[in-house]
Amino acid sequence: MKFWQGLTLGLIFALLVTWPLASIEAASLSGRSSTALEWYDTAEEETATPAYQYLQLNAKNLLKPGYNFKFYGRLADDLSDESDIDSRLYFAYLEKNDFLKNLDFRLGRQFISTTAGASMMDGLTLKYSLSEAYSIRAFAGGDVQYYDGYSLKDVVDGIEFNGKFINNSVDLGISYLQKWDDGLIAQELIGFDIDYDVNNNLWLYNELQFDLISERTSYALFGGKYRFKKPFTLRAEYLYSLPVFSTTSIYSVFAVEEYKELMAELTYKVSREIQFFGRITHEFYEEFADADVFELGVEKLRTNGFYGYLTGTFRNDDDGQNLYGFKTYANYQFCNSFRAGLGANVDVLERDIAYFNTDDTEQNETTSTRIWVDGRYDINKKINLTAKYEYIESDLWDYYNRGILRLNIKF
């Protein structure tokens, strides 16, 4: 079954389910519709103009009390026929808490996220509460792959245990996940995560992921955050990441590079609305020289209609070019219905996968400079219009322009 067939069936199912809601007294329907028009320059110096229609639905007490249906998807096309942009069904599932005693279920397209891995899945999730502190979640279904199509032999399944200990100050999770690609085992991972809050002053957290097929750690995060009695907060993190490719992918036979990062951050809160921060990040590379990134900034939270921040950055890279840059943004609410902002990130390296929302798996956009203006106009409490225009200097091209206009309707 191809993805577009699954999308069509999902849309038809959503319409069939939600259409009679108006005649069901106990049911309630809410959601949001978003119509967007985007434009940007392509590598061939052509202008792409993708158009999107997003729809999110929440139907509560469907047919019977406690049965809820949630749907989110988009219809998409490039009006200029310059970019490969497809329609997508993000989720469409029926759920019920306490379907049986202490047993919840979720059936349909849904996003599965565990420390062992994540997937967009067409299937069933069951969650059993052993007590208020302990629960077990199991899931199985088809692994939806937006880029490579969808086959009934693409299966994902797993199990997760979560528990609270020491007067709910410790959250612990253990998970297992495996993926099958065309009937062959593609990934098999286990995960472990723990959070420990010590007297509301010290927060320690850890996430670990282990690749059982290659027998090596694929992800690790160790962090801590300390809240001083005075208005200081200190946070430190260590990150380790190693790509995990499917065993059926040609990339699985090539050597991969690990990435490590060590970060420390100090925040000083002057008042309820103003805070200063300093951050140091050391990036470890195997094939290149390590790099250090220093950041020093101030942030103003939104009060009296104004929000903004200013951050100075310095990237020390022996193998590349040292960068002295800054990030700044200011947004002001001119009246009850209109707000606008102006921002700039100059000489700051930022990486974004699938920046243009296309279906190109090779897309990896690294920008060095972004200057933008944005705005929002509230037509009423449920309808608003947003707009954003950007000038971007990128790793792929010299520079290009990008804009998006969006109409949002809540109901």
Residue 338: C-alpha distances to residues 78, 296, 384 (Å): 30, 31, 10
Mean pLDDT of the chain: 87
229 pLDDT exceeds 50? yes
Q: Which of 5-14, 126-135, 153-162 has the lowest mean pLDDT?
A: 5-14
DSSP class of residue 380? S
> Which positions ≥6 away from 38 have C-beta within 8 Å?
48, 49, 50, 51, 52, 357, 402, 403, 404, 405
The arithmetic mean of pLDDT across residues 321-328, rounded, is: 89
The arithmetic mean of pLDDT across residues 61-77, rounded, is: 91
∠ CA(290), CA(326), CA(313), 5° rounding?
30
- Percentage of residues in the chain having pLDDT higher than 70: 85
Whole-number pLDDT of residue 20 = 55
Whole-number pLDDT of residue 184 = 86
Q: What is the C-alpha separation between 294 and 283, in angstroms, rounded? A: 11
- State the pLDDT confidence band at 359, using cuts at 50, 70 and 90: very low
pTM: 0.83
81 pLDDT exceeds 50? yes
Whole-number pLDDT of residue 5 = 41
Query: Which tens digit of pLDDT belongs to each residue from 330-351?
Result: 999 999 999 999 999 998 877 6
Query: Which tens digit of pLDDT belongs to each residue from 136-173?
Result: 999 999 988 755 666 667 899 999 999 999 999 999 99
253 pLDDT exceeds 80? no
Whole-number pLDDT of residue 9 = 53
Cβ proximity of 129 and 135 under 8 Å: yes
Q: What is the C-alpha separation between 404 and 38, in angstroms, rounded? A: 4
Cβ proximity of 214 and 204 under 8 Å: no
- State the pLDDT confidence band at 187, using cuts at 50, 70 and 90: very high
| H-only helix segments in 19-102 | none
291 pLDDT exceeds 80? yes
